[in-house]
Structure 1
Amino acid sequence: MRHPRSTLLTGLAAASALTLAACSGGGGDSGGDDTPDGPVDLRMTVWTASEDHLELFNDIADTYIADHPDEVSSVTFETVPFDDYTTTLTTQIAGGNAPDLAWIFESNGPEFVASGALMDLGPTFEATSGYDLEDVDPATLELWQSDGGLYAYPFSNSPFVMFVNTDRVSESGQDNPADLLADGEWTYDAARDISAGSVDELGGAGLVVRDFDYQIWANLATVWGGWGAEPWSADGSTCEFGSQEMIDALSWYHDAVFEDGAIPGPGTSADFFAGDTTMTITQISRASSLDGSFEWDIVPLPAGPAGQQNVVGQAGLGVLANSEHPEAAANFLAYFTNPENSESLALYFPPPRTSLLNPETLAEGNPLFSQEQLQTVVDSITGATTKPAHPNFAQLDTAVRSALDPLWTADADAASVAPAVCTDIESLLQG
């Protein structure tokens, strides 16, 4: 089977080469026909199959088509399974079947931006009346910018928070995280102690970093941020796994698993939403799994030795520069993400627009949350960092996962394992 990394490189290289060819041939900045004879059919790849999401997308598209009948005749939202999404997208690009628009993972964002596969959306947004790009939180744009250009719109910014089973906390006689937060004592050490104490009293599981499963290491960014640790330097060129901050963070996690019993070990299945886990770090979209069988709350990510750090998972929405109709696609994207439609999209996708980052707006799409909880959500988005991303992320992802495997045994030492990660990935950071 072809490695996904190979497909990603091939697809993006093909897109970049074709885009450059189009530019050198006098075709402008895009690979498609900028002046079609009539209205065009647009295609956008997405990874959601939610009927509610797709109904909203289609409603926005139908309104646009009615207002622009000479420009666009249809917009098709093509669902691609989450696990295969990037591989499928880059295969389409390599095969000359690029969609006009596409959702893009934050982890692969820098690779798409650097490749030339995406159209610069800045001129279109600036020329769109009432678009108000200045309303967008600058921190959410950083991943998608390069040399003054903006190559995707960060339409979804889902924060990581701590969900707490307050029934388990109360029944086990532990401190309530919300009370600790109010007193300025909500820390990772406190979360560890509450989790371990609840397991001692009630069994089950304590603290779970959801979807980590000792595989998806990037989700541990929600923990090591409290130590001020990063996997690599801001410019992506230097490995930081060997830093003292990262060693300390990974040591804390290792000991919470193997010494304190606060975190389930490898091979242990624990689902917060089943009711037998005390707390979990995950995104607010997971609240749909709550069934009312226990009382719960959310609090921000705890503070570590370096303070408290907010983290979001981000999805960008870009226009493929070598698609059939990039100019028409960019115009539609400007409409799809304008202030009015961003408010509608906020029902499901936390927006980057600061004017919409308030409990009142988010309440319409999150009826399970109280106003106080939604304020936590807003505070967890503003100024947050994104999960790890890199122009070479696909290959780095596999290498880091493999290099961290030795850490997940009882007698492992983070001071030995973490620096060894750098030995395995240093060359990949340059590639």
Structure 2
Amino acid sequence: MRFRAAIAALSLFALAACGNGGGTPAAEDTGPIDLRMTIWSANDAHLKLFNDIAAEYKTSHPNVSVKFDPLPFDSYTTTLTTQIAGGNGPDLAWILEDSAPDFVGSGALVPIDGNLTKGDDLAPAATKLWQNGGKLYAYPFSTSPFGMFVNTDLLKKAGQDNPADLVTAGTWTWDKAFAEGAAVNAQTGTAGIVVRDFDYKSWGNLSAVWTGWGAQAWSADGKTCGFNAPEMVDAMTTLHKAIFTDKAMPGPGVAADFFAGQSAMTITQISRASLLKDAKFGWDLVPLPAGPKGKYSVVGQAGLGVLKKGKHAQAAADFLGFFTNPDNSAKLAQYFPPARKSQLNAETMAKTNPLLKPTQLQSVVIDGISTGVVKPSHAGSAEIAQNVRASLDPLWKPDADVKGVLDNVCTGLKPLLSK
């Protein structure tokens, strides 16, 4: 029922363009304004920063209060669209890259070009996903490549090479990473490699792995399924072997939190680095291992938009402009790599990322943004995500027919991609 409500919400987005002067937000009232902004992080450090920015905004806008509303990551978009359909949507929202085409192309968001400070400082590659008809509909507040955090103590205990040394030697590959993960599990009983936030549900995060094989979920024009292409079959076969044969990765139902010392490696973004502030183990951050197609990078992106159906669209757009101005963008860069060209360098980012070295920021973040591909996105993302997740479920069994499962994924996707 919840999923069907979300799909219904997407069809209602078009109605958002009506009623407010053909896209111009209604005049704001002069009384107290309570803004709500949905986010998917409940991290204490993130929330403190957001609330500090909101408090600073309130000093010059005493009638405006901002509440940050964390929603669970794995159901974020479904919950958000359900709220919109029910008439209780937020004023502002973080939007995942996979659902960007739906939000940006539907009329659900207010154009924000006029609210940005030094908008010409934004990198064109970072704004591409959030534009339509020459207007910007969401600010790309995070353009964050995936990297590999490694527990150097666990790897040493298992007699394995330090990945940083392998990067220097040019031998940091997926074959080597899976071998080290399997060795850690065999010799210490601790999990090897974890793709954080995947949990055998959020399959889009696996693009941080399969892109190394040259695989893609669908063609560049979004019309042709890529799940049963040879590159994807090879990638998923390797992944299946790593999980069920070599035990390099924990299987379904096994929780292993790298940041609590429960795995040797994890694929995630630098926004998680704050969890290592009081780490009791040695750690490092290195680029993703090279795949059969060589070195690569995958970028997770998120936009911040103003909902046209929100109660206070003008005030929300003004706060968005403040939240993303150069000064606050520099603060947010501690967790969310900025889209501003002037700030996208290791030296500037190091000032607000004390836990990460400039070399780590350069190799994973700066270099990754310049060469990376964005995670899969497509119109109708909610229905597509649910369809692929259900079709992939049979893959997560020891005796799965990998090619057969991936053929079925494409059978289910074909009518959705052609819409």
User: Do they superpose with TM above 0.5?
Assistant: yes
Change in 2 beyond 3 A, CA 1:348/1:275: closer
Q: What's the counterpart of residue 192 of structure 1?
A: 178
Greater shift in the superposed pair: 190-199 or 415-424 = 190-199
Of 267-276 and 384-393, more deviation after overlay is shown by 267-276
1:398 to 386, 392, 414: 386
1:235-266 per-residue CA deviation (whole Å, 9 max, x = no partner) reads 32221111111111111111222332322223
Q: In the TM superposition, what is the alpha-carbon distance from 1:42 to its structure 2 partner?
A: 5.2
Stretch deviating more after TM superposition (355-364 or 185-194): 355-364
- Please say if 1:109 is aligned against 2:108: no
* 1:189-247 deviation digits (Å, cap 9, x = unpaired): 11112222333333322222122222221111110010111111223222111111111
Tell which deviates more after alignment, 266-275 or 135-144: 266-275
CA distance in 2 between counterparts of 1:345 and 1:213 reads 27
Q: Does 1:337 align with 2:324?
A: yes
Tell me whether 1:164 sits opposite 2:150 in the alignment. Answer: yes
Deviation at 1:421, TM superposition (A): 0.8
Please name the residue that 1:29 is paired with. Answer: 23
Residues of 1 paired with 2:174 and 2:92: CA distance? 40
Q: Give CA deviations for 1:257-315 in whole Å, capped at 9, x if unaligned.
A: 23323222233333323334221212223233334322111110111112222223222
Q: CA deviation at 1:400?
A: 1.1
Aligned to 2:38: 46
Contact 1:46 1:78 in 2 (8 A): yes
Deviation at 1:342, TM superposition (A): 0.8
Letter of the structure 2 residue corresponding to residue 373 of structure 1 = Q
Residue 129 of structure 2 aligns with which residue?
143
**Native 8 Å contact 1:158 1:350 kept in 2:** yes
Asked whether 1:75 is paired with 2:75, we answer: no
Is the contact made by 2:213 and 2:235 (CA closer than 8 Å) also made in structure 1? yes
Aligned length: 415
2:2 alignment counterpart: 3
SS in 2 for 1:308: coil
Aligned mate of 2:334, from 347, 362, 371? 347
Q: In structure 2, what is the Cα distance between the partners aligned to 1:89 and 1:402?
A: 21
Distance 1:97-1:383 versus aligned 2 partners, 3 A rule:
same
User: Any unmatched runs of 5+ in structure 1?
Assistant: none
Rounded to whole Å, the distance in 1 between the matches of 2:253 and 2:45 is 34
- What letter matches 2:256 in structure 1? A
SS of the residue corresponding to residue 190 of structure 1 reads helix
1:55-94 maps to which residues of 2 (within 5 A)?
55-67=48-60, 73-83=63-73, 85-94=76-85
Q: In the alignment, which of 221, 224, 231 is matched to residue 207 of structure 2?
A: 221
Q: Distance in 2 between matches of 1:226 and 1:116?
A: 35
Partner of residue 290, structure 2: 303
CA separation of 1:93/1:204 partners in 2, compared to 1, >3 Å: closer, same or farther?
closer
Q: Sort the Cα spacing of 1:18 and 1:346 in 2 relative to 1 into closer, same or farther, 3 A.
A: closer
Given that 1:241 and 1:422 are in contact with CA atoms closer than 8 Å, whether structure 2 keeps it comes out as yes
Q: CA offsets, 1:350-391, max 9 Å, x none?
A: 212222123333334433222322323423333432322222
**Residue of structure 1 aligned with 2:356, choices 360, 366, 369:** 369
Q: Cα 1:380–1:86, aligned 2, differ >3 Å: closer, same or farther? A: same
> Which stretch of the first structure deviates more once superposed, 58-67 or 302-311?
58-67
Contact 1:224 1:250 (8 Å CA) reproduced: yes
Percent identity, aligned pairs only, is 51
Question: Which secondary structure does the structure 1 equivalent of 2:98 belong to?
Answer: coil
Which sits farther off after the overlay, 196-205 or 50-59?
50-59
Q: Equivalents in 1 of 2:144, 2:36: separation in Å?
A: 21
Q: Does 1:416 align with 2:404?
A: yes
Bigger Cα displacement from structure 2, 53-62 vs 103-112: 53-62
State the distance in 1 between where 2:388 and 2:65 align: 39
Aligned to 2:90: 99
| In the alignment, structure 1 residue 132 sits paired with structure 2 residue 118 | yes
Corresponding residue for residue 302 of structure 2: 315
| Uncovered stretches (5+) of structure 2, i.e. residues with no partner | none
